[in-house]
A = this chain, B = another copy of it.
Amino acid sequence: MDIDAVKDALAAQAIEVPSWAYGNSGTRFKVFGSPGTPRDPFEKIADAAQVNLFTGAAPRVSLHIPWDRVDDLAALAQYARDLGVEIGTINSNVFQDDDYRLGSLTNADAAIRAKAVAHHLECLDVMRETGSRDLKIWLPDGTNYPGQDSIRARQDRLADGLAEIYAALRPDERLLLEYKFFEPYFYTTDVPDWGTSLVHCLELGDQAMVVLDTGHHAPGTNIEFIVAQLLRLDRLGAFDFNSRFYADDDLIVGAADPFQLFRIMHEIVQAGALDPAVGVNFMLDQCHNIEDKIPGQIRSIMNVQEATAKALLVDADALADAQVAGDVLGANAILMDAYATDVRPLVAQVREEKGLDPDPMRAYAASGYAERIAAERVGGQQASWGA
């Protein structure tokens, strides 16, 4: 085990954070607000920059359009750079306009489909104004009742719409297509699984990649298998990290099943996909319903770092030997030994060597930032999923 290589890998790891995590979000039953919540995209960026300031591992912020629409996007991007972060992935939104009640790219109405395509072309413009490479499409489209619409026709409309959007990509841009098991529709979902996302990406071309959100699977799904499969096919474009016990709970990544997160990172490490050149964008996508948002994000970054550290500590040679030898318990033990290791000191050391406080949670709490924004951000409308 080359511990310096492990530390270098940890030091280089970058996790993208979502602008919307700093606004209010919640369940269909209630969205709880909290003091200091950002009221505009600039304040969201400012909060995101705090996460990077204390972790040194969150150098990019994803935007959500139209939530993060501002008149001067270049100014927003410059504001971000001034705070030490870049604009990352641009996320489209086709679920909050009344027109999309029965679907956007898959809607039976051609005018609504055209509107949805146009929205994505607008997102491409945002990418170019903000220096972003990736357009991420999470398509909420689906149906609630058997017979409501034709499954097949919707797939064909989807293929057509994606083709229009893909045709507008520049050579260095990517289209990332996310899948989700269910919600906000409850009978069919038009991109419900990695297979469907892959089928459309294959049809589109090499710049189309699959997004894996860790909360978007059927109960019991082996997520690391999908990770390994998509890496094998060179089609894993990005992660949306979060965790869940039941459905798309959007809890802090690693909170519900830290062992699963470790297994996922193990596949990443084994495939060499921590290397940015492989093209996997590691992003968070969470809702902080009841916990503080900035600390919630910091904790999330730490959880990914610790899972990654454990994955880097797996003795790959010994593991491969045991696997080839058919030593079931031995191979499992090698993996579990890495998992059982307490990597908190190692990750803390990596932080210190970057000039950071070894304990980002404590350091953020001591910084007074939370109290400052609570005092300053009075009046206005707190940002939320709906605004």
Interface residues of A (CB under 8 A from B): 25-30, 32-33, 95-96, 98, 100-102, 108-109, 140, 144-153, 155-156, 181-184, 186-189, 192-196, 198-199, 202, 217-222, 224-226, 228-229, 231-233, 244-247, 249, 251-252, 255-259, 263, 267, 270-271, 289-292, 295-296, 299, 306, 319-320, 322-326, 328-329, 331-336, 339-344, 361, 385
Contacts and interface: CB of A to CB of B under 8 A. Distances in A.
A104 B181 CA distance: 31
B229 A195 contact: yes
Contact of A150 (B108, B247, B320): B320
Contacts of A148: 323, 328, 331-332
Given A32-B98, A193-B193, 19 more contacts: A28-B184, A29-B183, A30-B184, A102-B290, A108-B324, A109-B326, A145-B328, A147-B332, A148-B328, A152-B231, A152-B271, A153-B323, A188-B225, A189-B222, A198-B199, A218-B218, A257-B259, A291-B329, A340-B342
Given A181-B220, A186-B246, A108 B323 contact: yes
8 contacts: A27-B183, A28-B385, A29-B385, A145-B251, A152-B267, A196-B229, A255-B332, A257-B259
Which of A26, A30, A259, A267 has the most B CB atoms < 10 Å from its CB?
A30
A206 to B, nearest CB: 16
A245 B229 contact: no
Nearest to A235: B199
A62 B239 CA distance: 43
A255 B145 contact: yes
A26 B98 CA distance: 12
A326 B108 contact: yes
A332 B382 CA distance: 27
B29 A336 contact: no
Given A150-B270, A341-B342, A96 B220 contact: no
A255 B148 CA distance: 11
Contact of A229 (B30, B155, B244, B255): B155
A96 B29 contact: yes
Contacts of A256: 186-187
B329 A292 contact: yes
Given A152-B232, A222-B188, A331 B145 contact: yes
Nearest to A217: B218
Contact of A244 (B186, B306, B334): B186
Contacts of A342: 340-342
A246 B192 CA distance: 13
A144 B195 contact: no
Contacts of A186: 244-246, 249, 251, 256
Contacts of A151: 224-225, 228-229, 267
A291 B29 contact: no
A203 to B, nearest CB: 10
Nearest to A31: B28
Contacts of A247: 182-183, 246-247
Contacts of A334: 147
Given A29-B95, A148-B323, A290-B328, A246 B263 contact: no
Contacts of A222: 187-189, 192, 245
B228 A155 contact: yes
Contacts of A144: 249, 251, 289-291, 328
A218 B247 CA distance: 11
A193 B228 CA distance: 14
Contacts of A225: 151, 188-189, 192
Contacts of A193: 193-195
